[in-house]
Amino acid sequence: MEPKKKTVHGIIAWITCLLMLASIYGIFIYSPMEKVMREVQKIFYVHVGVAWNAALAFLVVLVASIMYLRTKDLKWDRLGLASGEIGVLFTTLVLVTGPIWGKSAWNTWWTWEPRLTSTLVLWFIYLAYFLVRGAVAETHRKATLSAVFGIIGFCNIPIVYFSIHLWRLSHPVVFGPSGGGLHPMMLHALIMTVFAFTFLYLYLMQKALYIENSRQELESIKSALRERLD
C-alpha cells in the first residue's frame, strides 16, 4: 500500500475506533432507558446503524454497476464487489438484530410483514449477486452480469424503506409524519452510531478494495508468466 493511502487508511481506522467508543457510551450511558422495553431497546441503535449503511453499500454497488456498464472499466466492478460484500454483511446484521428486538416487542422472532420480508429478499438478491460471480469464469461477462444484478437488487431498497409507510405494519415508524419520534438524547446516540458504522463501512471498503486490487495484480502477473512460458 502506498504511504499516502496508508496514512488515509490509518486516519479512518482511528476515527472509526473513536466513533465506535463514543457510540457505545451514547447507547449504554448517555441515552435514557426506554420505559417499556428497557435494555432490549438498546439494540435499536445498532439495528438502524447497520441498516442505514447496508443501504449506502448497495447504493455504491448501484453506481459502480452503472459506471461499469458505461465504461467497461474493471475498477468499477471491483468497487461494486467490495461494497456488495460489506452490504451483505450489514444486511445480515440487520436480520440478526431485528428479531432480537422483535422477540421482546412482539413475542416472536419473526413475522412475515412487508418490511422484514423485503429485507430478506434484498439479502437473497445480493447473495445471488455473489453466486453469479462464482459461476461465470470470463471476467467481463461476470462483471456485466454482476452489474445487472447490482442494479436490480437496488430496486428493492425503496420497497424496504417505504413498506412501513405504504402498509399498516407492526414495525415501528421512528421518522416521518407517522413516526413517534425519539427523545433528543436517544437521537444523539442514534446519529453517533450511524456515523460510527459509516466510518466502519469506509474502513472495510478500503480493506476490501486493497484485497481486490492486489488479487487483480496477482492475476495479471500470472497471465504474463503464462504468456512467457508458452
The domain spans of the chain are 11-31+41-222
pTM of the entire structure? 0.85
Return the higher-pLDDT residue of 25 and 227. 25
**Long-range contacts of residues 153-156, Cβ cutoff 8 Å, at least 24 apart:** 153/58, 153/61, 153/122, 153/125, 153/126, 153/129, 154/58, 154/59, 154/61, 154/62, 156/118, 156/121, 156/122, 156/125
- Closest to 49 measured CA to CA, from 16, 71, 2: 16
Higher pLDDT, 34 or 197: 197
Mean pLDDT, range 90-117, rounded to an integer? 83
Helix (H) or strand (E) holding 177: none
Is the separation of the CB atoms in 57 and 50 below 8 Å?
Answer: no
Instruction: Indicate the SS3 state at residue 115.
Output: helix
Confidence of residue 113 (pLDDT cuts 50, 70, 90): confident
Q: Calculate helix-pair angle for 114-135, 139-154, nearest 10 degrees.
A: 170
How much is the average pLDDT of 105-134?
84
> Which of 228 and 163 is assigned the larger pLDDT?
228
